[in-house]
Amino acid sequence: MIEVSEIKGIKGLYAFKAMQTLLFSYFMLPEFRQPKESYTEFLKRFSEMTEEEQREIFKTSLYFAGIDENEILAICCFAKDINGVSYQKANLASLEIEELFDIIIDVCMEIVKIRVFF
């Protein structure tokens, strides 16, 4: 597990929107979509899943979603490396894809804990 700092500010909003893009991308895949399920219903179903199931959804969605570099950076800046230093563009460049997936998934798991009221 990656250490994740408090998610807030403009980058926090970018990270939240990127997480939503990942979830929506998964929702749009016909093989994973429930018949006649709305996105709101999917989010409710997602919130009732185990952490392992949620992590698997994020992993699957990373294969298909189109999140841009700024969104990836916004997500990853909330994670810290083994030395406690927040990830930035320079130190992300040398990571393996699997490591990036782990960081993105760990931060997204923290973002889903944030409750947004409309």
Taken in order 69, 70, 75, 81, is the CA torsion positive or negative? positive
Per-residue pLDDT of the chain (118 residues; tens, 9 = 90+): 788 989 999 989 999 999 999 999 999 998 888 889 999 999 999 999 999 999 999 999 999 888 888 889 999 999 998 888 899 988 888 899 999 999 999 999 999 998 875 4
What separation, in Å, do the N-terminal and C-terminal C-alpha atoms of the chain show? 31
CA–CA gap between residue 66 and residue 63 (Å, rounded): 9
Segments making up each domain of the chain, as ranges: 3-111
CA–CA gap between residue 24 and residue 61 (Å, rounded): 8
Q: pLDDT value at position 7?
A: 92
- For 15, the 3-state DSSP assignment is helix
Q: pLDDT value at position 17?
A: 92
- Residues in the chain, total: 118
Q: How many C-beta neighbours within 10 Å does residue 4 have?
A: 18
E strands, the chain, in order = 3-4, 79-80
